[in-house]
Amino acid sequence: MTASERELYDAVEEYISTTYNNAAQDQRSAVGFVMTIYRRRLASSFHALRQTLNKRLSGQGLLLTEEDVSQNEQVEEVMDAEEAAEIAHQGLVVEERSSIQGLLKRIATLSTDTKVRKLREEIERAFTEGYHSAIVFTQYADTMDYLKEHLAQAFPEVPIGCYSGHGGQIRDQGGYWNECKKEYIKRKLKDGSIRLLVCTDAAAEGLNFQTCGVVINLDLPWNPMKVEQRIGRIDRIGQVHPTIRVVNFAYEDTVEADVYFALGKRINLFQGIVGKLQPILSRLPQEFERVSLARPEHKEAERQRLISDVEGMVAQAEEGGFDVDEAAGESLDLPELPPPALTLPDIDLALNRDDVRPPGCEWKPLDPGSYSLRLTGITKPVRVTTSADLFDDQFESHDLLSPGGALFEVMANTVSADESLEGALHGNIRLGPTAPGQDELEMVVRTRDGGTRITSLGELIADLERLVLQQEGKNL
């Protein structure tokens, strides 16, 4: 941090702890909730804190995010939005307008955030060293909005997109931000149309970016498992880069930097997320809050206590703690499995035949690999696919038709096994369970030449083609 940033940071921390500790005892839960919101947004960016304080002065109160609600350590259970808003309102009552104005004046004098300048350098370095694209994560949409504009100016030739809980945007060549859906963002990042994506943790839910080799955490959530979830968006099967790059940012000489960097170097913090360190990491949000709300004269001692406690817990865990990874190791080794009887390409080929689909099934091809499906008892058509790649790109708008999926099971159970065999006597083909109440499925083809139970869709298609040729021969 620059000297002016350091002075502001210290002033905000002092305001937070003083306001909390000066509150009446019956107000502290609500005040602590509000103050920790300020503290987390301060750790994200000065811009995020500025936007929050401006909204506070304008009478808008606090626009709470899921992050704010889920990390309230003053209550034992996660609150709903209405309850959180009420607690936040109670906490705002004790604040003084002049104090907030004083903090806003200080923020207004700052130049470009030091973290943002360093971020630009890291992105330039990654591109220079051969990485085609990068994802920048932040906890808050206010920080994301600030970043996307700054990076658009810093990299005018680089296609940029952003995504938050409110939706996605892509910047066009004219400099305008056009709204789009999450799946469109993913598709454009995958095909290289977006090289830089700025997003909140909403993108860490259900989106996979194996084509991207760089993930940058501009801020570090109090729950380190959220950082692991971010990294998991690119560190997964199908990753195209032999080495991925993870860059973590935190303001220097803060409690976040202490835990994530100082401890991380000594205990490989992220590598222990699902092992012996998991019970320790789950307690960190509460410990971060304890330090943030400590009296100014006690803050440094609380900070050192936190580091010492975590190091002690790590040492104890390494000596004999329960290791989730070790306990699950053997169960994760799958035995060699036989080839599947039903593959997605075979299912696609079969369902595009009228004589295979169950009675009452309405099937209409749409885009390549995409279909409209309506089954008996379903009022509206459903958009489905048999392509794993298409589903991966457009999972929000498609259901995957595969064994074990809800729609596939509905199709499989449209007729019973007895009805299937009875229908087969008339030359029909039916898909159903091997016996009443069984999950295992079978296909039966019965013609004048006799009945055949199909063990794979490949056999089914071959028999269908043979039967078609036989029928055509009879009609000649």
The two most distant CA atoms of the chain are separated, in Å, by 99
pLDDT confidence band for 137 (50 / 70 / 90)? very high
Q: How confident is the model at residue 113 (pLDDT cuts 50, 70, 90)?
A: confident
- Whether the pTM exceeds 0.85: the reply is no
Quote the CA–CA distance of 39 and 166 in Å, as a whole number: 23
Give the H or E element holding residue 197. strand 196-199
pLDDT in tens, 458-467: 666 666 666 5
Pick the more confident residue, 357 or 459.
357
Identify which has the larger pLDDT, 330 or 455: 455
Query: Given this model, what pLDDT does residue 424 score?
Result: 44
Q: Residue 118 burial by CB count (10 A; 0-12/13-18/19+): exposed, middle or buried?
A: middle
Q: Which residue has the higher pLDDT, 47 or 376?
A: 47
Residues 6+ apart with CB under 8 A from 172: 178
How many angstroms separate the CA atoms of 170 and 197, rounded? 9
Integer Rg of the chain from CA: 29
Give me the CATH topology for the region 114-323.
Rossmann fold (3.40.50)
pLDDT at 421: 46
Give per-residue pLDDT as tens, 62-108: 556 555 555 544 444 444 545 555 555 554 555 677 888 888 888 88
Please state the rounded mean pLDDT for residues 234-252: 82
183 or 291, greater pLDDT: 291
User: Averaged over 137-154, what is the pLDDT?
Assistant: 91
Question: Mean of the pLDDT values across residues 431-440?
Answer: 68
Average pLDDT over residues 25-31: 79
- Residue 394 confidence (pLDDT): 77
Q: Has residue 61 got a pLDDT over 70?
A: no
Task: Report the mean per-residue pLDDT for the chain.
Answer: 76
Distance, CA of 460 to CA of 190 (rounded, Å): 36
Kindly list the domain boundaries of the chain, sorted by start residue: 3-108, 114-323, 344-475
- The answer on pLDDT for 428 being more than 70 is no
Provide DSSP, 25-93: GGGHHHHHHHHHHHHHHHHH-HHHHHHHHHHHHTT------HHHHHT-TTSSSPPPHHHHHHHHHHHHT
Distance CA 308, CA 325 (A): 25
Reported as a single tens digit per residue, the pLDDT across 189-207 is: 888 888 999 988 876 666 6
Residue keyed to tokens 């501009």: 218
**Beta strand spans in 386-463 (E):** 399-400, 429-433, 441-447, 450-454
**In this structure, what DSSP letter does residue 362 have?**
E
- What are residue 179's DSSP bridge partners? 169
Q: What is the pLDDT of residue 465?
A: 63
Tokens 């206010």 locate to 142
Give residue 92's identity as a one-letter amino acid code.
Answer: L
Cβ neighbours of residue 231 under 8 Å, at least 6 residues apart?
A: 215, 244, 246, 270
> In the structure, what pLDDT confidence band is assigned to residue 29 with cuts at 50, 70 and 90?
confident
Question: Between 23 and 474, where is the model more confident?
Answer: 23
Return the pLDDT at 324.
47
Share of the chain above pLDDT 90, in %: 13
- Calculate mean pLDDT across residues 8-25: 86
Q: How far apart are CA 37 and CA 50, in angstroms?
A: 12
Nearest to 285 by CA among 86, 24, 6, 43: 43
Q: Is the distance from CB of 49 to CB of 37 less than 8 angstroms?
A: no
Residue 264 tokens read as 């991380």
What pLDDT was estimated at residue 196? 92
CA 326 to CA 275: how far, in whole Å? 8
Using pLDDT thresholds of 50, 70 and 90, give the confidence band for residue 266: low
